Chain A
Amino acid sequence: MKKLLLATAATALAAGVTSAEEIKLGTSLGFTGPLESMAPAMQAGAELAVKEVSDSGLLLDGSTVTLVQGDSTCADAAAATATVERLITAEKVKGIVGGMCSGEAIASLENVAVPNGIVMVSPSATSPALSTIEDNGLFFRTSPSDARQGEVMADIIMDKGIQNVAVTYTNNDYGKGLAESFQAAFEEKGGTVTVNSAHEDGKADYSAEVAALAAAGGDALVVAGYVDQGGSGVVRAALDTGAFDTFVFPDGMVGQALVDNFGAEIDGSFGQNPAAEGEGRDTYVAMAEEVGFDGTGAFSAESYDAAALMLLAMAAAGSSDPGTYKDKIMDIANEPGEKILPGELAKGLEIINGGGDIDYVGATSVELVGAGESAGVYREVAFNDGTMEVIGYR
C-alpha cells in the first residue's frame, strides 16, 4: 500500500512538473558468443553517448536517459529475439542499439521491433540483406553494408591491375554476403573470379581448401574470413605451399594480429576496413581513454553514434516516441546543419532546442544513405616490410 501511494505520488509529481521523462534505451549485443570480445567496448561506447546526453539535461526538458543491457549472443537468433522482446515489453525501451550480427539482427527486427514499432540502430550488422528488409523505416545502421565493401574492394584490386582473383570466405552470413557482393562488383568491372569457395572456421589444417583454390588459380587470393579463425589458417597454408603470394584482406582480417602472424611474408598484400579518419574519431578515442576503455575497438565508435543518433532525433522530433522520431534520424545524420562531433552532443541539443539544424558527424563520419545505412568510409591498407600502413581512404 505504501509503495502504491509512493508510486502514485511520484507519478503525480512527474506529471505535475514539465514533460521530463525517464527514457530507456536498450542494447542488444553479443556479450556471449563468437564476438564476445568486441561487445564490452561497444556497450561502453553506447553508454558514453547516453551519459553525455543525460548529464546535459537538455533532452526534452531535462529528461534522463538510462541504458538497459541485453545479450543477443550473435549466433542464436531465438535468444536475440527473446532479449529484444524483454527490452521492449518489460523494460519499455524507446529504441535499441543492436543487433550485433546480421542473422540475429534480422530475426529480432522482423519478429519484435517492427511489430512493436521500436527503432533499432545496429552498429555492426553489415549484411546486404538488411538494406532491402521491410522495416517500416525503423531500422538504421551506422556501419556500411558489405555490398559497399565489395565494391570498394573490387575498385582497389582493379586499381592494382589485377584481373583474376580466387575468393575464399568464412561460411556464415558475413562471409557469404561479402564474397557474393564482391564477386558481383568485380565481374561488373570486367574482372574474373576463378573460384568462390567457403572455408569452415576452427579447423586444424586448410591445405585441402588451399589446394582447391590453387587449382583454380588467380593472381591474388581474397580472404573474406576472420583473422583469429580460419582466415589466418588459409593464408598460412597458401604461403606454405606457395599457392598464392598476394592476398586481399577485407575488414574481418585487417588487424595487428595479421602482421603478428605473418610479418614480411605477406608483403605486397593489401586490404581495407571501415574506419573513418579525422577529428571525430580522434576525439572519440581520447574520450574513451578517459573513462577507461579502448575506443579503437571494432564497432565501438559506431555504437556511440547509434545511441547519439536516436537521442538527437528524439530532441529534433520533440518526442521520445519511436514512431515520431524515426523520421528525424536521416535529417540529423546528414547535411545541412552545424557539424557535431563526439563530446558535443550538448551543443547539438542546444542547437536543436533553439530550432537550428545539425549534421551529426560523430565518431565515424556518419552519413546515412539509402534505407538508412552508413555510406561507409573505408581505409585502404598495404603490407610492406612486415608492417601495415594506411595508404588512403575511399
Chain B
Amino acid sequence: MDILNAAVAILNFVVIPAAAYGAQLALGALGVTLIYGILRFSNFAHGDTMAFGTAVTILATWGLQALGITLGPLPTALLALPVGIAATAAMVLATDRTVYRFYRAQKAKPIILVMASVGVMFLMNGFTRLLIGVDEQRFADGERFIINVRDFREMTGLQEGLALKTTQGLTIVIAVIVVWALFWFLNRTKSGKAMRAYSDNEDLALLSGIDPEKVVRMTWIIAAALATIAGTLYGLDKAFKPFNYFQILLPIFAAAIVGGLGNPVGAIAGGFLVAFSEVAITYPWLKIAGYLFPDWQPGGLLQLLGTEYKFAVSFVILIVVLLFRPTGLFRGKSV
C-alpha cells in the first residue's frame, strides 16, 4: 500500500507535470532545431513567436466563445488554433521577407542572423503586448480534469491523490500527433525530403534543382505551426502572459542544444530531459521517502535545490552538455 502511495505521489507531483511540460518544451525545441538545421541560425525570436501565435489563438477563442461555439469538454482554443497558425505563418513569412532574406542573399554569417533575430524578438515582443496587453490571460474552458483528486481517492482508497488535467492529457496527445505528422512529412513527402536535402548540403540541393526559397517558406510555416501549438498548449496548461514566453526561451534552447541542434529526435529527447530534471531536482522527496522507508526520519525536505532555482537547472544542463558533448546527445550540428 505504501509503495502504491509513493508511486501515486511521484506520478502526481513529478511524472505528470514534467511530461506535460516536457511535451511543450519539445514542441518549442523542434521549431528552434528546424530553423537551425535549415536556415542555419539560432532563432531567438522563437519564444515571442509562440507568444504571438498564442495571443492570436486567444483572440480567436474569445471570438468563438462570443458566437457561442465551444468544443464541449475540450478547450475551445483547439478550434481556434488554425487561425493562430495562419496568422503566425503570415507574420514569420513577412519577417523573413523583410529581414532574413536580405542577409541570406548577402550570405551573411550565422551570428549576424542571430543578432537580427534578437531584433525581431524585441519587435514581436512589443507587438504581442500591443495586441493583447501584458496581463495574464486564462483561456482554458471545457472540462478541467480527466481524473481529479477527490474521485481518485474515493476510487482507490489510497491516501495520495492523483490529478490529470485535461490540458495535460491534451498536451501529451497533441504532441505525439504533431511529432508523428512532422516525421512523416520529413521522411515521406517530396517537400520534406527536399528540406532534409537542403539541410544536409545546400549546394548539392541547389544542383539537384530544389528551389531554396520554397524550402525556406516551408520551414517557416512549419516552425510557425509548431510555435503556435506549443504556445497554446503551454498557455492552456498554465496561463498566458507574454513575459513568460520570453522566459521559456532558455529551457527551449537548452532542450534543443542538449538533444543536438538540427536533430528533431534530439529536440524531443532534450525537451523531456530538461523538464524532468527541472521538476525532479526541485522536488522534495521527503514524502516519498516517508512511504518507502517508514523508519527513516530525515531532518530536511530532501530537496536538492529550492524551487527558486528551477531555471538554473537548464543552465547547468546546457553548460555540462556543451563542455562534454558540444554536438548534443544525438549528434546534431556543432554550435
A interface footprint on B298-311 (CB within 8 Å = 1, 0 otherwise): 00011100111010
B285 within 8 A of A: yes
Closest to A215 in B: B284
**Cβ–Cβ < 8 Å partners of A203 in chain B:** 244
CB of A215 within 8 A of CB of B287, answer: yes
> Any chain B CB within 8 A of the CB of A289?
no
Q: Contact between A215 and B301 (Cβ–Cβ < 8 Å)?
A: yes
Q: Tell me which residues from 245 to 280 in chain B have a Cβ below 8 Å from any Cβ of chain A.
A: 248, 278-279
Q: CB-defined interface of A209-233 with B at 8 Å, one 1/0 digit per residue? A: 1011011110000000000000001
State whether A217 touches B287 (Cβ < 8 A): yes
The reply to whether the CB of A188 lies closer than 8 angstroms to some CB of chain B is no
Complex Cα–Cα for A38 and B279 (A): 37
B46 an interface residue at 8 Å Cβ cutoff? no
Partner pick for A241 among B149, B237, B239, B282, CB 8 A cutoff? B149
A-B contact count (CB 8 A): 78
| Known contacts A203-B244, A204-B244; is-contact A212 B301 (Cβ 8 Å) | yes
| A198 lies within 8 A of chain B by Cβ | yes
B165 touching A240 by the CB < 8 A rule?
Answer: yes
Given A195-B301, A241-B13, A242-B161, residue A212 in contact with residue B241 (CB < 8 A): no
Cα separation A368 to B65 with both chains bound (whole Å): 53
How many angstroms from the CA of A215 to the CA of B279 in the assembled complex? 14
- Output the least CB separation between B13 and chain A (Å): 4
Contact B244 A214 (CB under 8 A): no
Q: Which of A195, A217, A242 has the most CB of B within 10 A?
A: A242
- Closest CB in chain B relative to A41 CB, distance in Å: 20
Residue total for B at the interface (Cβ-Cβ under 8 A): 38
- CB of A204 within 8 A of CB of B238, answer yes
B13 and A214 within 8 A (CB) = yes
CA distance A242 to B165 in the complex (A): 12
Task: Establish whether residues B234 and A208, one from each chain, have CB atoms under 8 Å apart when the complex forms.
Answer: no
B315 contacts chain A at the CB level, 8 A cutoff: no
B283: contacting residue among A198, A202, A208, A242, CB under 8 A? A208
Given B144, B150, B310, which contacts A208 in the complex, CB threshold below 8 Å? B310
Are B238 and A216 in touch, CB under 8 angstroms? no
Determine if A208 and B307 form an interchain contact, defined as CB atoms under 8 angstroms apart.
yes
B282 engages A208 (CB within 8 Å): yes
Residue in A205, A209, A211, A242 whose beta carbon sits within 8 Å of that of B163 in the complex:
A242
Closest to A233 in B: B239
Query: A240 contacts which chain B residues (CB < 8 A)?
Result: 144-145, 163, 165
Q: In the assembled complex, which residues on chain B have CB atoms less than 8 Å from the CB atom of A202?
A: 241, 243
Contact of A204 among B234, B287, B308 (CB under 8 A): B234
Judged by a CB distance under 8 angstroms, whether A200 is at the interface is yes
Given A198-B308, A211-B284, A215-B286, also A242-B150 (CB < 8 A): yes
Is B283 touching A211 in the complex (CB atoms < 8 A)? yes
CA A214 to CA B162, docked complex, whole Å: 13
Q: Which residues of A contact B308 (CB under 8 A)?
A: 171, 198, 200
- Least CB distance, A287 to chain B, in whole angstroms: 32
A207 at the interface (CB under 8 A from B): yes
Q: Are A216 and B243 in contact (CB under 8 A)?
A: no
- B residues near A211, Cβ cutoff 8 Å: 13-14, 17, 279, 282-284, 307
Tell whether, in the assembled complex, residue B286 and residue A216 are in contact, meaning their CB atoms are under 8 Å apart. yes
Contacts of B282 in A (CB 8 A): 208, 211-212
Residue among A209, A214, A241, A242 making CB contact with B307, cutoff 8 Å? A209
Q: Which residues of B contact A (CB under 8 A)?
A: 12-14, 17, 21, 144-145, 148-150, 153, 161-163, 165, 234, 237-239, 241, 243-244, 248, 278-279, 282-287, 301-303, 306-308, 310
Known contacts A205-B21, A208-B279; 15 additional CB pairs below 8 A are A199-B307, A203-B244, A205-B237, A207-B17, A208-B282, A211-B13, A211-B307, A214-B13, A215-B13, A215-B283, A215-B301, A216-B301, A240-B145, A241-B12, A242-B150
A-B contact pairs, 30 of them (CB 8 A): A171-B308, A197-B307, A198-B308, A199-B307, A200-B308, A202-B241, A202-B243, A204-B241, A205-B239, A207-B13, A208-B279, A208-B282, A208-B310, A209-B307, A211-B14, A211-B283, A211-B307, A212-B306, A212-B307, A214-B13, A215-B284, A215-B285, A215-B302, A233-B239, A240-B165, A241-B161, A241-B163, A242-B12, A242-B148, A242-B163
Interface residues of A (CB under 8 A from B): 171, 195, 197-200, 202-205, 207-209, 211-212, 214-217, 233, 240-242
